[in-house]
């Protein structure tokens, strides 16, 4: 797979180890930076990762900053991304299987290197399951990009989901 990989200056060393890990597994890495420890800004790299994924240059993206918060929020602003900030293997599997997440993010100062590699492995290995329910949920998420002031005042936008819930159609 082609993986877009990026970070801010706080966790460049962690990113380089992820890059080596990905290459050892046979993946192609598009390293969008940063490449050293000079002060920089995570929105640049969040956006670069996202643009590579959305344009199809990369199949998936991996993003990290100190906490993972800044770079994941930045990447998620680019239409077409589904970014998940993850701290465990189970969440990574769910994110790919159910929501077809295309960018995974970490706090490089929060998680250990081995756990990050485990999470990356699960994220890459897990296949998206395009069930009707998953497709509809993803469509709802993607549709949230249309900003509409009426939505905040509309008490009926989730009527369909609430009715399904009442009929017992949702199962965890
Ligand atoms: C440093 O800019 C730090 O704020 C950043 O790496 C990250 O932790 C933000 O979420």
pLDDT tens-place string over residues 122-163:
999 999 999 998 999 899 888 877 777 777 778 887 888 889
Q: Is residue 80 part of a domain?
A: yes
- pLDDT at residue 118, as a whole number: 98
Q: Is residue 172 part of a domain?
A: no
Which residue's alpha carbon is at the smallest distance from atom 9 of ligand 1?
Answer: 70
- pLDDT at residue 120, as a whole number: 98
- The minimum-distance atom of ligand 1 relative to the CA of 8 is 6
| Total domains, the chain | 1
- pLDDT at residue 160, as a whole number: 85
- pLDDT at residue 146, as a whole number: 72
- pLDDT at residue 79, as a whole number: 92
Q: Residue 2: phi, psi to the nearest 5?
A: -100, 125
Tokens standing for residue 21: 């890990």
User: Of 33, 65, 106, which is best to mutate to test ligand 1, by the most ligand atoms within 8 angstroms of its C-beta?
Assistant: 65
**Sheet architecture: strand order including 103-107:** 28-33, 2-7, 60-65, 103-107, 83-85
CATH of the domain at 12: 3.40.1400.10
- Of residues 158, 140, 62, 44, the one with CA closest to residue 101: 62
Query: Which residues in the chain land under pLDDT 50?
Result: none
């Amino acid at each position: 797979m082609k993986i877009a990989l990026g970070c801010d200056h706080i966790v460049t060393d962690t990113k380089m180890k992820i890059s080596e890990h990905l290459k050892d597994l046979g993946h192609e890495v598009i390293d969008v930076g940063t490449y050293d420890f000079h002060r920089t800004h995570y929105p640049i790299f969040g956006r670069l990762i996202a643009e590579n994924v959305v344009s199809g240059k990369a199949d998936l993206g991996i993003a990290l900053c100190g906490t993972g918060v800044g770079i994941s929020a930045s990447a998620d602003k680019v239409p077409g991304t589904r970014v998940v900030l993850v701290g465990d293997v189970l969440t990574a599997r769910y994110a790919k299987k159910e929501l077809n997440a295309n960018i995974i993010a970490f706090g490089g100062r929060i998680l250990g290197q081995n756990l990050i590699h485990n999470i990356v492995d699960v994220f890459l290995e897990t296949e998206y399951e395009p069930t009707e329910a998953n497709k509809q949920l993803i469509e709802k998420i993607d549709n949230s990009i249309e900003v509409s002031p009426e939505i905040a005042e509309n008490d009926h936008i989730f009527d369909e989901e609430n009715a399904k819930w009442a009929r017992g159609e949702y199962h965890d």
